Chains A and B, each alone.
Chain A
Amino acid sequence: MAYACCAATKNILRVSQLTRLMSVYPSHYVNPIVEKNLQSSKGNELSHIPIKAAPNDLNDTIFYGQLKQKFLNYITKKGNAALAKELLTKTFEIIKRTQIERLNLGTADQEKVITDPETLLVNAIENSRPLLTLSAIKRGGVKYQVPIPLTERKSYFLAMKWILEAAREKERKVKLPDKLAWEILDAACGQGRVIKKKDDLHRQCETNRAYAHYRWS
């Protein structure tokens, strides 16, 4: 039986949070607040409640980005996060060099050329996010491809997954940072394989819009 306090802290104290099944923490432990500007406002309440340890992935510096961290997690294989970080750093270096070159060549519009790789990564992910997907729903013995909306989390996941998939489809001699850099640059500009995949999916959803009502029986 969880306990309650005033309305503002109801969610913290009364309802058991979405806890993982095999968490080392008891259910009444709350997540830490890593952002320093939020610590003063919300930290006062948390000083009376047991808090879980902050994960090593999080920090409140200029080097941290939530989307970037998620992307790193997807690059990581067999727990080798250090290697993933190295690869992403090299990718960013290649992106930076390319963009600086473009800037200095002066062919394209000077103001529109973005040189910051973190911004370009975010732009690439945002551009390649699908909004709808097809779901096989059986009606009368036939499986129809029905367009259904995607949740925000799923769409971000798919965007990042597709970018990485496209980057890994390469020749043996080509290094991942090179390929990934080109994929990110393409997606940020609204062109390339990942954008094509997203557009194809959207087009399919549009053609199948007649079956949309199959989503609800």
Chain B
Amino acid sequence: MALRVFALNLIKTNRNLLQSSGKINGGCNVQVVTSAAYATQVTVEATPAAVQKQKVSKAMKAYLKRANEHDEFMKTQHLDFQIGKRHLANMMGADAETFTQDDIDEAIAYLFPSGLYDKRARPAMRSPDEVFPARKAAEFDETGRPFHSMFYTGKPNFFQLLHDIVTETKKLNDLEERMLRRGNTPDDNQKLETAGFQLLPKEQLERFLVEHIADIEYQSFCSSMDRLIASPYAYKSRAFIERFLKPLIDQSKQLEVPKPKIDEQGRQYVTTYECLRKTARADVTVRLPGTGKITINGQDISYFSMEQSREQVSVEDLMYPIL
């Protein structure tokens, strides 16, 4: 009698355990079927995958929520920008359909004149894509598996870039090997022009990659790029390299060549005002069918009493200023 009760109690506890275990294991989805009250064996049948409920982790949920919020936000910003553009066009009396960004800039400069020195501090109206920093698209799918193989580095785009640079360098090295064996030399006409360029600064690279980079990492990017650019066959990877070269401004090319005027005697002349050297200010006139004479405030070159000043630019060198 006691034994049977004991056995019954055991079965009951077993059944309870199985049922509760079914509740605890969320992904288990097991249905417990007991064949008989006295049986100690339990047959388990797993449900088919199609009926399985999607279990999304909290991290995934939070990510999706953030992404959706951002998308909604950007949509409203775009809408606001479009409406604002039309209002502005209306205010300026221009056609709303053909109102370009340049027109917007002009209109804002007219309506909100600013004396601030830095142009970036002045009021401006730009597309939300330019104003708000870019965000990465979904980096992993619903199961949580990342798309990029280097996702777990934390900076997949950056390290992918470094790998790409190395791949290109190896390709060029192999090409150089083959060319040397054939006795060929690199084409000098196609040589990569690097004189007027510098490598993309750190901030711009960060914006390009949509990732934050440490200083050391930026330095390794620079040295890798230097290596690639230094290769004699670098022009073969021109498209790849030029993405990371930023042109430097050439001040001399920005200067406008003034048009010569004609004076009473029919000679051409050009006058440049406010020529500077230290605290000296001069208005210089150069005449085309010239005599070679120099007149400074009515005096000749002896206006400069110091020999050092006269030695600065000799008469033949007047056309070529000291850099």
**Hey, which chain B residues are within 8 Å of A39, CB to CB?**
320, 323
**Residues of chain B lying within 8 A (CB to CB) of residue A46:** 323
Is A16 positioned at the interface, with any CB of B under 8 Å from its CB?
Answer: no
Kindly list chain B residues whose C-beta atoms are within 8 Å of the C-beta of A57. Answer: 308
Say yes or no: is A48 at the interface (Cβ < 8 Å to chain B).
yes
Residues of B within 8 A of A43 (CB): 323
Q: For residue B317, which residues in chain A have a CB less than 8 angstroms away from its CB? A: 36, 60
Quick one: closest A residue to B313, CB to CB? A59
Within 8 A of A (CB), among B179-199: 192, 194-199
Q: Is the CB of B195 within 8 A of A48?
A: yes
Chain A residues whose CB sits within 8 angstroms of the CB of B197 once the complex forms: 5
List A residues 52-97 near B (Cβ within 8 Å). Answer: 53-54, 56-61, 63-64, 81-82, 85
**Top 5 nearest A-B pairs by Cβ distance?**
A48-B248, A6-B194, A4-B222, A7-B230, A54-B322
With an 8 A cutoff between CB atoms, is B118 at the interface? no
Query: Do A45 and B195 form a contact, CB below 8 Å, given A3-B201, A36-B320, A60-B317?
Result: yes
Question: Which chain A residue shows the least CB distance to B306?
Answer: A82
The answer on a CB contact under 8 Å between B322 and A9 is no
Most chain-B Cβ atoms within 10 A of its Cβ — which of A43, A45, A61? Answer: A61
A81 to B225, CA, bound (A): 49
Q: Which residues of B contact A217 (CB under 8 A)?
A: none
What CA separation (Å) do A60 and B218 show in the bound complex?
A: 41
Most buried by B among A13, A36, A58, A59: A59
User: Which segment, of B62-70, B133-141, B249-257, faces chain A?
Assistant: B249-257
The residue in A3, A14, A43, A51 that gathers the most chain B C-beta atoms within 10 A of its C-beta is A3
Contact of B226 among A1, A6, A63, A85 (CB under 8 A): A6
**Chain B CB within 8 A of A32 CB:** yes
Count, chain B residues at interface, CB 8 A: 36
Q: Is the CB of B312 within 8 A of A59?
A: yes
- The answer to whether A4 touches B198, judged by C-beta atoms less than 8 angstroms apart, is yes
A85 and B223 CA atoms in complex are apart in Å by: 49
Inter-chain contact A54/B199, CB cutoff 8 Å: no
With A5-B198, A59-B311, A61-B314 as known contacts, state yes or no: A48 contacts B226, CB within 8 Å.
Answer: no
Offer 21 A-B interface pairs, CB within 8 angstroms, sorted by A: A1-B201, A1-B202, A1-B218, A3-B198, A4-B198, A6-B226, A6-B230, A32-B323, A34-B322, A36-B317, A36-B320, A47-B253, A48-B196, A48-B249, A51-B323, A53-B277, A54-B323, A56-B309, A56-B312, A59-B322, A63-B311
* Residues on the A chain within 8 Å of B201, using CB: 1, 3
Q: Evaluate contact between B230 and A48: CB separation under 8 angstroms.
A: no
Name the distance in Å between B237's Cβ and chain A's nearest Cβ.
Answer: 14
A47/B322 in contact, CB under 8 A: no
Min Cβ gap B129→A in Å is 26
- In the complex, A10 Cα to B215 Cα: how many Å? 18
> Counting CB contacts under 8 A, is A49 at the interface?
yes
Q: Is there a chain B Cβ closer than 8 Å to A33's Cβ?
A: yes
Closest Cβ of chain B to A116, distance in Å, is: 18
Chain A residues whose CB sits within 8 angstroms of the CB of B251 once the complex forms: 47
Alpha-carbon distance between A55 and B277 when the two chains are bound, in angstroms = 11
Residues of chain A within 8 A of B196, CB atoms compared: 47-48
Q: Quote the shortest CB–CB distance from A91 to chain B (angstroms).
A: 15
A2 vs chain B, min Cβ distance (A): 10
The complex places the Cα of A34 from the Cα of B317 at a distance, in Å, of 12
User: Nearest Cβ distance between residue A92 and chain B, in whole angstroms?
Assistant: 13
Residues of B within 8 A of A58 (CB): 322
A1-B215, A56-B309, A85-B307 known; A9+B323 contact, CB < 8 A: no
B226 contacts A9, C-beta separation under 8 Å: no
Residue A107 interfacial (CB < 8 Å):
no
**B323 close to A33 (CB less than 8 A):** yes
In whole angstroms, what is the CA distance A21 to B289 when docked? 49
B229 proximal to A (CB < 8 A): yes
Chain A, range 159-175, C-beta contacts under 8 Å to B: none
User: In the complex, how many angstroms separate the beta carbon of A187 from the nearest chain B beta carbon?
Assistant: 26
A44 within 8 A of B: yes
Cα–Cα, bound, A57→B309 (Å): 9
When distances are taken between beta carbons in the complex, the residues of chain A under 8 Å from B215 are 1
Within the complex, the shortest CB–CB distance from B247 to chain A, in Å, comes to 8
Residues of A close to B223: CB separation below 8 A = 4
Chain B minimum-CB-distance residue to A6 = B194
Interface centre among B277, B314, B322 (most CB of A within 10 A): B322
